[in-house]
Chains A and B, each alone.
Chain A
Amino acid sequence: MSIGYSKSTNWYSAKSNWKLVALLIFLLVCTSATVSSAPLTKKGVYEESTGHFQLQGDVVPIEEDGIHDPNNEAVKILQPPAESMLNFPRDDRGVINWVETLDSGMINPRTGLTGEEKMHAVDFDVIFRNTASMPYVRFPHRPHTIWLTCKNCHPKIFIPQRGSNPVTMAAIMAGEYCGVCHGKVAFPPYECKRCHREPRESVGLRYK
């Protein structure tokens, strides 16, 4: 008797579950359809995908990027970022690798207003060892000095004296030290391993 009763409740609940599940799936399909079709309507000149160009393959037209006024006639004349940077080399997070772009010869930016001036590239690396449990930071001068000149960073941003710059990730995130450029116009501080790339002597232990 008791088994029969439980059987019938099972049957009942199973049936209602079916209805519920069917309803839920219908709803989910509807929502997912609206979610996936929402970006489709925003598609502009570049058909591959939507979003932002800095994410791999993602592109928004200039008048929809949230800062350009679409009512300005001149917006149609401005060059879309994707057009000029489409084939630029990217790192494994999809962010443009400007140093590789310059080294590969894809671009040849002028070194002065007329392009006659010489760059003074220096090639020596600085290892930062006070990185808590992260791999050490290797700072290479060469990729920085093919773009910049000494006085861009020294002595205002970095005092050119070993150990005299208390660089922290918090300061970088707030836009100081490396953060003056990195996170604004150069690769962002989320790309840990592009700086923290020098193995520690003792892995997993704090080491000074």
Chain B
Amino acid sequence: MKALTEHSSVWKMALFGLLVWVGVLSAPQQAQAEYADVVINNYADAAGMRPVVFPHWYHRIRFRCKVCHADLGFKFKAGGNKITMAKIIDGKFCGACHNGEISWSVENCGMCHSGIPGTPTHISGSTVQRLVAPAYKELDKKAQ
């Protein structure tokens, strides 16, 4: 009987171990999109287009921050630049490069307009988005 009780304590420990294991396995892993895909949906949804997903990481591999944020005048704010296709075709903002000379031009709609319809303007996985202002609701309302 002593052996049995000892056995049961071993089993209890094993059970505890299993519980911890399952807890660790099932704990949700936090996504950390530090490289920042920026969803821009100022006008796209209203115009019947998919929102734009701007891969910030892709561009910073090729250009220093200063090129877009000082030379081209992009503000440090998702959706803060009020970019329209007219401005892009006019050579402003994205159009400074996406003109068929430095990079591919505006007829490749789906390359930029690739977001899930209805996604509000935000920086995917940013600290602000997770802690303070989930999915920037004000900007979303303005878009509609």
List chain A positions with a Cβ less than 8 A from chain B. Answer: 7, 10-11, 14, 17-18, 21, 24-25, 28-29, 31-32, 35-36, 51-55, 58, 65-69, 72-75, 77-79, 81, 84-85, 95-96, 98, 107, 109-113, 117, 119, 146-149, 151-152, 157, 173-175, 179-190
Contact = CB atoms under 8 A, between A and B. Distances in A.
Given A148-B70, A185-B36, A185-B60, 14 more contacts: A10-B1, A28-B22, A31-B22, A36-B25, A52-B32, A54-B35, A66-B124, A68-B53, A113-B67, A119-B64, A147-B60, A148-B65, A152-B65, A175-B126
A65 B37 contact: yes
A146 B108 CA distance: 32
Contact of B34 (A69, A96, A109): A96
Interface in B56-89: 56-58, 60-67, 69-71, 76
9 cross-chain pairs, A with B, having the tightest CB-CB distances, nearest first: A183-B127, A74-B110, A52-B31, A175-B128, A54-B32, A149-B66, A185-B36, A184-B126, A147-B65
B22 A54 contact: no
B71 A69 contact: no
Contacts of A72: 50, 110, 113-114
B26 A185 contact: no
Interface range for B: 35 or more
Contact of A54 (B33, B58, B67, B76): B33
